Amino acid sequence: MSELKRTSLYEKHKELGAKNIGFCGWDMPVQYEGILKEHKACREEAAIFDTSHMGEFFFEGNILFSGINEAVTVDLLTLPVGRCKYGFILNDKGGVIDDMIVYKADIDRLMFVVNASRIQEDFDAIKAQVHNGAFTNASDSTSKIDIQGPKSKEILEHLLHVRLDGLNYFSFTEADIMDTYGLISRTGYTGELGYELYLDNTAAPKVWDKLIKLGATPAGLGARDVLRLEMGYSLYGQELDENTTPLEAGLEYFVQYTSHFRGKEALEQQKQNGIPKKLIAFKTNSKRAPRHGFEIMQEGLNIGVVTSGTYSPSVASGIGLGYVETSKFNADKPIQISSERGSMPVELTTLPFYKK
């Protein structure tokens, strides 16, 4: 196995006594003091996450004539400057190469934020669409810290010495973060009020320390996964992959048909013909959790597979997402999930699992 990569905050995690795991080639903290405690800190106060493993690309050039608008399902022309938007990079079949957020810093300047495991595939896929303008990968020099939770605004305002009242959901601003240039967006992966900070690797450790001093609790990928799943947010590699379309994942809302993009014909065709599989959400009637890979059963037949599952502290039961074959699935009949440890009934539910 090749050496795991380390973020600019690696030493900080060690100092905090984090338990690390290999995640997509990175040595990342899965937890510090415990997933439940970190989850609670995020839902009730403020938590910070090192998400520096994620990728950042920059584009500078003409959006209309460079081909960049064909690379993603977000219409970059109509996206207002100062706003960011969630969407997809698709293959010709409409399958998801990655999900991402694109930031429009100016009429001719964009930033793409992508999953760590997909940086190379994403860069190549976007690059293939771009025939002029400058497209660069800044992933290795960029750190990312997410601060999430009801107290995140207050803490961040203390750090920055500015008010953040004007920063609306899926808006962002360039900012001076402890004397270093950075970017702050009102976004996140937890469902809480929160912000994502993009900054140079050299500034990340002092910003991390200061956020903790101001009251934020460090939280690992374990808590992050529970938090995102409670909101029903998809995770690449589980709910999304190259053989799954946004329609099947229930994410058509994030496809803007107003622009022409790679994979659009396939999506339009699938819209006409119907989707062969669909994402469903379910919960258990106990604290037992569905787990990735469990089978989804209905009337004794295997009709699908669980893609994500966990115990949810906010819902106080097991929760899960999975795909079922549309032709076999009947929403009115009971379903079970099964593994070598036996079978348990689950109840279909709507997203998010955690409703405030």
Q: Which of 332, 341, 350, 356 binds other proteins (CB under 8 A)?
A: 341
- What is the arrangement of strands in the sheet containing 84-90, beginning at the earlier edge strand? 84-90, 96-106, 109-114, 55-60, 134-137
The reply to whether 30 sits near other proteins by the rule CB under 8 A is: yes
Per-residue binding string, other proteins, 278-317, x by CB under 8 A, is --------xxxx-x------------------xx-x----
Instruction: Report yes or no: 86 and 249 within 8 Å, Cβ to Cβ.
Output: no
Q: How many other CB atoms are there within 10 angstroms of residue 219's CB atom?
A: 30
Binding of other proteins at residue 322 (CB under 8 A)? Answer: no
Q: For residues 81 and 316, which CB has a smaller minimum distance to other proteins in the complex? A: 316
CA distance 265 to 5: 38
Phi, then psi, of 71 in degrees rounded to 5: -85, -20
Q: Helix (H, G, I), strand (E, B), or coil: what is residue 211?
A: helix
d(CA 321, CA 323): 7
Q: CA 54 to CA 197: how far, in whole Å?
A: 12
- Smallest gap, in angstroms, from Cβ of residue 254 to other proteins? 28
Q: Which residue lies nearer to other proteins by CB, 30 or 212? A: 30
Please tell me the distance from the alpha carbon of residue 117 to that of residue 236, in angstroms, as a whole number: 9
Residue nearer to other proteins on the CB measure, 35 or 240: 35
Candidate list 17, 22, 34, 80; residue touching other proteins; CB under 8 A:
34
Binding string to other proteins for residues 40 to 79, with x set by CB under 8 A, is what?
----------------------------------------
Q: Shortest approach of other proteins to residue 108 CB, angstroms?
A: 44
Cite the DSSP H helix spans in the chain: 10-15, 35-44, 119-129, 152-160, 204-213, 221-230, 264-273
Instruction: Give, as ranges, the residues between 188 and 247 that touch other proteins (CB under 8 A).
Output: 222, 225-226
- 214 or 231: CB nearest other proteins: 231
Residues of the shown chain interacting with other proteins in the complex, contacts defined by CB under 8 A: 30-31, 34-36, 222, 225-226, 286-289, 291, 310-311, 313, 341
